[in-house]
Amino acid sequence: MKKKTIWALIALLTVTFVALIGLQIVYVSSLISIQTEAFDDAVQRSLAQVSYLLERDESRRYLEKELSDRDREMLSIRSSAYVLAMTRKNRSLTDPSRLMPPTLEYHSAIWQPDMSSSDANKGADAENSIDEKVLKARYLSQQDLLNNVVLEILYQASSSPVSQRINYKKLEDYLRSELLENGLDAVPFYYQVVDKDGEVVHASDGIPEQVGLPDYVELLFPNDLGDTRAMLYLYIPSRKGYIRNPLMTFIPTVILSLILLFTAVYVVSTLWRQRKLSDMKNDFVSNMTHELKTPVSSILLASQMLNDKDVQRPAAANEHIINVISDESKRLNLLIEKVLQLSMFDQTRHASNKMVELDMNQVIRSVADTFTLKVEQSGGRLETSLQAENAVVFGDELNLTNVIFNLLDNAYKYRDPERPLQLRISTAWLQDMLEIRVSDNGIGIRKDDRRKIFDRFFRVSSGNVHNVKGFGLGLAYVRQVIRQHDGDIRVESEFGKGTTFIIHLPLI
């Protein structure tokens, strides 16, 4: 897959998922806003109805009081009229019990006018006239009654303390029933009744000492004259949780979208790594072809010279040709060994390893003795400092030997031509781990390259990329072997000053 295609795919996935997540966020935010508005409207309707019910209760109380007062007044008037009538009718009243107030039926009988049978038509007209007068009188009486009640509420009730105007038991019952009526069943709440001066007149049971600002405020007795009105403060502690609870169903959708996003990112990153790996493999094949071509050409040329019987050569020349064939064959064999290392990366752990108890101090001495001559020929120096008294590990001798050799060979290839190479190998005991350090004063590694040097086929460039021969497999092989031995490896380097590889292996 081409790089442009991968970049286009990355851009398309990024835009798509950003838009998807953005739409979900907007949608969820809109739902939260709608749910919040619906919840607030339900509470406000409940509070408005509670305020109306309290005002209605107060009007009813004053109306009942006025009716009670009117009844007592009318009863007193009727009793006086009855006594006066009886006194005029019978001056010789001897039974005081006759002065008791009459019943409604008797009172009606007393005030019914006499109707003679000789004047029936005239009596009927009089009766109709009396009915109209009674209705009119009753209407005027009721209007007067209501006017008196309204005036009493406006002047007397408005000036009464709030505590005398509200039945708090009913107030709480009203709140619960109205919230239930508006679909807010079992919503916990606290409330306070506050007078015009901001003083708390009454608070519900169990209200916290510090409640903060109220969630909702409702005006009580809004029709009062002047600034005498009270306020009802309502607190709903679980308001946010209650509002967002129905939206919990959208969380799985968001989670699935994120999982899909991470999966897409992983797939794209895998494609990108495969693309880079493919490029590195192509470079490897090209480099390997070039490396193999040189020794093969030298061997073919030397073989042709030896097979040419027509040319007379001294024995020293034949010996030189034979040495060339031998050297190039060794070089070719080394290249083949490097290629064979590729197969180790896909093998199972310890599948081809012969694990034995191994003294790493002896392994390091053996490799150092072999490598010292090569370093000294270039004007450098190899120093060993094997301070670990216990350096016995459980490992494969061949692979661990190749690890030390590859690190030394890597330091030799990337030495600084401006100064002699200084190599140092040391061991130290760290509790249950063996620490091996391989240090050099070479060209160092840039910060951007440090995290890539253990990748297969990756090569640190030094000016011209062909200055240092190799295939980018050495350090990848080293890390693979160390991991197979339950160890770890890290690098410390400063560009232009040198590099140190630090290996930790578990001791027996």
- Judgement on whether residues 397 and 282 belong to the same structural domain of the protein: no
Burial class (CB in 10 A: 0-12, 13-18, 19+), 450: middle
For the stretch 392-446, pLDDT in tens is 998 888 888 888 988 998 888 888 888 899 999 999 988 889 999 999 998 888 8
The pLDDT of 213-222, averaged and rounded, is 87
Pair (305, 202) in one structural domain? no
Average pLDDT over all residues of the chain: 76
Strands 381-386 and 422-430: parallel
Q: Considering the chain, what percentage of its residues have pLDDT values greater than 70?
A: 69
Same domain for 376 and 458, yes or no, is yes
Which residues in 51-77 are b (16+ Cβ under 10 Å) and which e? bebbbebbbeebbeebeeeeeeeeeee
Confidence of residue 503 (pLDDT cuts 50, 70, 90): very high
52 with 160, same domain: the answer is yes
Cα separation, 62 vs 17, whole angstroms: 67
| Token code pair at residue 450 | 């440090």
Block residue for tokens 């409940």: 46
Domain-located, residue 452: yes
pLDDT score at 5: 78
Determine the Cα–Cα distance for residues 10 and 17; give it in Å rounded to an integer: 11
Mean pLDDT across the stretch 358-367?
90
Q: Is the domain of 326 the same as that of 380? A: no
Residue-level pLDDT at 107? 40
Cα–Cα distance between 26 and 283 in angstroms, integer?
A: 49
Given pLDDT bands bounded at 50, 70 and 90, which one contains residue 125? low
Residue 143 has pLDDT above 90, yes or no: no
Q: Domain boundary at 291, 324, 343, which?
A: 343
Whose structure tokens read 């490992």? 395
Model confidence band, residue 96 (pLDDT cutoffs 50, 70, 90): very low
445 and 311 belong to one structural domain: no
Domain boundary among 237, 265, 280: 237
348 within domain boundaries: no
- The parent domain of residue 273 ranges over 247-343
Q: Is residue 242 part of a domain?
A: no
| Predicted local confidence at residue 327, as pLDDT | 74
pLDDT of residue 464: 41
The reported pTM is 0.43
* Pair (285, 406) in one structural domain: no
What are 33's two structure tokens?
Answer: 């806003």
Looking up residue 259, the CATH number of its domain turns out to be 1.10.287.130
Per the structure, how many domains does the chain have? 3
Whether residue 182 lies inside any domain: the answer is yes
Task: Give the residue-averaged pLDDT of 357-378.
Answer: 87
CATH number of the domain residue 401 falls in: 3.30.565.10
In a domain, residue 370? The reply is yes
Q: Is residue 71's pLDDT more than 80?
A: no
The answer to whether residues 333 and 386 belong to one domain is no
User: 294 and 382 share a domain?
Assistant: no
If asked whether residues 499 and 478 sit together in one domain, one would say yes
What pLDDT score was predicted for residue 158?
Answer: 64
| Per-residue confidence (pLDDT) for residue 461, from 0 to 100 | 58
Q: Which residues pair with 359 in a beta bridge?
A: 392
Angstrom distances, CA of residue 430 to CA of 22, 395, 497: 52, 18, 27
For tokens 């838009």, the residue is 19
110 band by pLDDT with thresholds 50, 70 and 90: very low
The single residue listed with the structure tokens 């040198």 is 498
58-67, 272-281, 465-474: range with lowest mean pLDDT: 465-474
How many C-beta atoms surround the C-beta of residue 240 within 10 A? 13
How far, in Å, CA of 288 to CA of 284, rounded? 6
Structural domain contains residue 458: yes
Q: In the chain, what percentage of residues exceed pLDDT 90?
A: 13
Sorting pLDDT into bands at 50, 70 and 90, what band is 505?
Answer: very high
Least confident of 109-113, 203-207, 252-256, 392-396: 109-113
Q: Are residues 216 and 86 in the same domain?
A: yes
Same domain, 277 and 305: yes
Contacts for 475 with CB less than 8 Å, ≥ 6 apart = 406, 410, 453, 454
Q: Domain ends where: 343, 370, 398?
A: 343
Is residue 116, in this structure, part of any structural domain at all? no
Check whether 88 has a pLDDT greater than 60.
no
Examine residue 17 and state whether it is found in any structural domain, yes or no. yes
